[in-house]
Amino acid sequence: MKKYKVYGTVTVGVSIEIEADSEEDAIEQAGYELDDLDAYCGNSGTDKLIGVSGSDESVWSDGGIEWQEAEEISGEDEE
């Protein structure tokens, strides 16, 4: 059998606690304080789990995986 690496996406939600005068200010300030996911760890690599680094920040997955593309990574097994 051939071996494939299959790629997909999943929606991820992020939250951060912000002190602000209004909802609009809070959204703008959140963009300044947390502009990307920057904490990674797990299974002998830095691309396995996503996370955030602050105690007032959180990340979660929402929904199922949408599989989109497959790439052949090896041909027929030879035994």
Whole-prediction pTM: 0.62
CB of 70 closer than 8 Å to CB of 8:
no
Three-state DSSP at 17 gives coil
* pLDDT surpasses 70 at 52: yes
What pLDDT does residue 40 have? 64
More confident residue, 23 or 46: 23
What pLDDT does residue 13 have? 86
Q: Which of 10-14, 33-37, 65-69 bottoms out in mean pLDDT, i.e. has the lowest?
A: 33-37
What pLDDT does residue 73 have? 93
The DSSP string of 39-77 is EEE-TTSSSSEEE--STTEEEEEEEEEEEEEEEEEE-S-
